[in-house]
Amino acid sequence: MKKFIQITLLILMVAVVGCKDDLLDTTPQDKIDAQTFFNTATDLEVYTNGFYEMLPTTEVYTDDANSDNLVPLIVSDRAKGARILPVARGTGGWNWANLRSINFFLANYEKCPDQAAKLKFGGIARFFRAHFYYDKLKTFGDVPIYDKVLTADDPDLYKARDPRKAVVNFILADLDYAIANIPKEVKLNNITRYTALILKARLCLFEGTFRKYHGLGDADAMLTLAAAAADELITSNAYRLFNTGGANVAYRELFARINQDATETILARDFNPTFGKNTINYGMTSPTFGAYGIPKDFVNSYLLKTGARFTDLSNYATAQYYEEMQNRDPRLTQTVAGPDFAAYGETVREPVNMSITTTGYRIIKALSTRDQWASSSSYFDLILFRYAEALLVYAEAKAELGTLTQADLDKSINKLRERVAMPFLNLTAANATPDPYLLAMYPNVNSGPNRGVILEIRRERRIELFNEGLRWDDLMRWKEGKKMEKPLVGIYFPALGAYDFNNDGKADVFLHNGNATGAPAGTSSIVNVSQKKLTNNTFGNFDPLKGTAMKFDEEKDYLYPIPVEDINLNPKIIQNPNWK
């Protein structure tokens, strides 16, 4: 979206917003600009274009490394339960500069005489304020609501945190305004009515399930709103699932292609070789920068091609790599490098490389053309919101409400399965035999008659939305933080020695414990297990976290702490529970 940011906007934002520090208590230096600006539709557009820089960028495709979906070289403090109380004001997410910029616009834009422009750009500004507060809600729970630009002598600088339900109502009011007033346009790089609808669906599902599983009350009202927002987006027929290439290609193609289109993608962040590059592909291919590994429990979650559960097989835990990749949901080998993996746009099989993955399972979702693998060379567009999420929100909200029908599944989850030619999810069968593997993964799941189908929807959500920055939030709202303490291991090896990963009769991987002289000629990955450890030293699963204490404190880790200096400056701000 950098193409929307003009030099005139940069000058404006410097004048209006100033530095990037926390500005809630800064005397405004913007009165002259307010008098001379906000007079035309172009003024409103130029100002709101600056808000797009508030949207996430590469963290969308790296945040899963802070959850149980990806294991990086260096485990984050959040993932291992080692977050500490921040000291400096405005750190740890407790920063309000972006909000001040939005509120300044909302305080001045109505002087423009163009009514249509006011409705549209006022709606866009409220979308960004809702997006801002949604992030604060997930992070801190209760937060102070500010709907105006504060001056240095404003007593609201020292107000207390507003209750989370008031914060949610504030967000909903902004989103409802946005939905009512932003035009029904399909625009890939702009906030539209549909972007506001998908954010509303995401917010309401998050809050509804958070209230339900954390015992806060009023969950059903939020879940009803989630289902309704998702349904409105679905029935608009503005989007459909991207199917180009068919079941064995389309899912990978959706993320790896250089330029997005508005078939399924509701909002994308625009990158190109000239003015916008990132390090996403480098993180997937560098042995020192990212080396992300996918855990085996995620690989185990993919169903067999028949729709049967892989984890019902007697040898699922000890199946070797080539075997476990056969006859599975096609999304598996469009997300994880399979036996026949070739670089995007190429046909020659890529050599197996264990040095660029901690678990042996190499991530390929959103891995684009080879020219984008070098440092800061990625320029493919990043998806921020897509239609598939609406299908998942709709099914989960209805299941949690207890109103899910087979027809609901057929218009949501089964559309996703249809894309990859997988058997449809059957409501009656799922509830009759809940998956014990998933039940062990999510012990706090709803114990009612929809338990089985809720587990299946969670399976589908983790697979479909893998590495799109939503997994941590899912665990938090389901009150499944303890999942972070469960082993995050990789590929299984029954012994040291040579392994053929693609069944061509040649060794691809050779494991040794200090003496590699027995490695067959041409082996592409020679691994010393004293460095890349196995669970049982000379056999078992790759165990990248061996010796790392993983802990999740149920009493405090569902929320982030507030910086010490901010609490010292405002005694009415009370710290989140059990953060000291």
What is the separation of C-alpha 575 from the centre of its chain, rounded to a whole number of angstroms?
27
Residue 24 clears pLDDT 90, i.e. is over it:
no
Rounded Cα distance, 407 and 396, in Å = 14
74's CB contacts (< 8 A; 6+ apart) are none
Q: Residue 276's pLDDT is what?
A: 84
Q: Are 427 and 460 in contact (CB under 8 A)?
A: no
CA angle, residues 333, 335, 338, in degrees to nearest 5: 30
Please state, in angstroms and as integers, the Cα–Cα distance from residue 205 to each residue in 210, 397, 498, following that order: 8, 6, 47
pLDDT tens-digit map of 146-186: 999 999 999 999 999 999 999 999 999 999 999 999 999 99
Residue 511 near residue 529 (C-beta atoms within 8 A): yes
Provide the pLDDT for residue 510.
98
Phi-psi region of 303 (alpha: psi -120 to 50; beta: other; left: phi over 0): beta
Contacts of 34 (CB under 8 A, 6+ apart): 104, 107, 108
Report the percent of the chain where pLDDT is more than 90.
91
The pair of three-digit structure tokens given for residue 539, joined into one six-digit string: 């056999």
pLDDT on residue 275:
79
Length of the chain: 580
- pLDDT per residue as tens digits for the range 422-481: 999 999 999 999 999 999 999 999 999 999 999 999 999 999 999 999 999 999 999 999
Mean pLDDT of the chain: 94
What pLDDT does 290 receive?
A: 86
18 pLDDT higher than 70: no
The token duo for 474 is 């899912």
Average pLDDT over residues 278-290: 92
CA count, 13 A, side-chain hemisphere, 272: 8
User: What DSSP string describes 40-106?
Assistant: SHHHHHHHHHGGGGGS--GGGGTGGGGTTS-B-SS--HHHHT------STT-TT---HHHHHHHHHH
pLDDT the model gives residue 12:
41
Among 473, 277, 466, residue whose Cα is nearest residue 386: 466
User: Looking at residue 33, what is its pLDDT?
Assistant: 73
Q: Quick one: average pLDDT of 212-236?
A: 98
- Region of 491 please: left (phi>0), alpha (psi -120 to 50) or beta: beta
7 three-state secondary structure: helix
What is the rounded distance in angstroms from the CA atom of residue 87 to the CA atom of residue 94?
A: 11
Kindly state the average pLDDT of the residues 60-78. 95
Using H for helix, E for strand and C for coil, what is the string for 514-558?
A: CCCCCCCCCCCEEEECCCCCECCCCCEEECCCCCCCCCCCCCCCC
Can you tell me whether residue 213 is helix, strand or coil?
Answer: helix
Burial class (CB in 10 A: 0-12, 13-18, 19+), 27: exposed
Whether pLDDT at 15 is above 90:
no
pLDDT confidence band for 36 (50 / 70 / 90): confident
For the cut 80, the answer to whether the pLDDT of residue 294 exceeds it is yes
Residue 35: the pLDDT is 80
Per-residue pLDDT, 359: 98
Q: Is 2 a residue whose pLDDT tops 50?
A: no
**Residue 312 contacts by C-beta under 8 Å, 6 or more apart in sequence?**
none
Q: Which of 60-64, 218-222, 384-388 has the lowest mean pLDDT?
A: 60-64
Is 20 or 126 the better-scoring residue by pLDDT?
A: 126
* pLDDT at site 79: 97
| Residue 55, burial from CB neighbour count under 10 angstroms (0-12, 13-18, 19+) | middle
- Is the pLDDT at 13 greater than 90? The verdict is no
HSE-up of 258 (CA within 13 Å, CB side)?
A: 12
- DSSP, collapsed to helix, strand or coil, labels residue 265 as strand
* Residues 10-16, mean pLDDT to the nearest whole number: 39
* Cβ contact 336:363 at 8 Å: yes
Q: Which two structure tokens, joined as six digits, stand for 149?
A: 């630009």
- Alpha helices (runs of H) in 147-192, residue ranges in sequence order: 164-181
Q: What is the pLDDT of residues 515-571, one digit of tens each?
A: 999 999 999 999 999 999 999 999 999 999 999 999 999 999 999 999 999 999 999
Q: Calculate the CA 469 to chain-centre distance.
A: 1
Local structure of residue 20 (DSSP, 8 states): S
Buried b (16+ CB within 10 A) or exposed e, 391-420: bbbbbbbbbbbeebeeebbebbbbbbbebb
Residues in Cβ contact with 450 at an 8 Å cutoff, skipping those fewer than 6 apart: 399, 400, 402, 404, 431
Q: Which of 4-8, 57-61, 378-382, 503-507 comes out lowest in average pLDDT?
A: 4-8
List the structure tokens of 225: 């709103």
Distance separating alpha carbons of residues 252 and 340, to the nearest angstrom = 14
CA atoms of 44 and 125, how far apart (whole Å): 10
| Residue located via tokens 């338990």 | 451
At a CB cut-off of 8 Å and minimum separation 6, what does 317 contact?
492
pLDDT exceeds 90 at position 398: yes
Per residue in 324-366, pLDDT (tens digit) is 999 999 999 999 999 999 999 999 999 999 999 999 999 999 9
User: Dmax over Cα atoms in the chain, in whole Å?
Assistant: 80
As a whole number of angstroms, the distance between CA 511 and CA 129 comes to 53
> Token pair 């009350």 is at which residue?
217
Alpha-carbon span 132 to 13, nearest angstrom: 18
Q: What's residue 461's pLDDT?
A: 98
pLDDT of 281 over the 90 cut: yes
Task: Indicate if the pLDDT at residue 390 is higher than 90.
Answer: yes
Specify whether the CB–CB gap between 552 and 482 falls below 8 A.
yes
Q: Which residues contact 477 (CB under 8 A, 6 or more apart)?
A: 205, 206, 207, 209, 210, 213
Relative orientation angle of helices 219-235 and 387-401, to the nearest 10 degrees = 140
- Only one residue has tokens 């982030």, namely 560
Helix 41-49 to helix 7-17 angle (10° resolution) is: 80
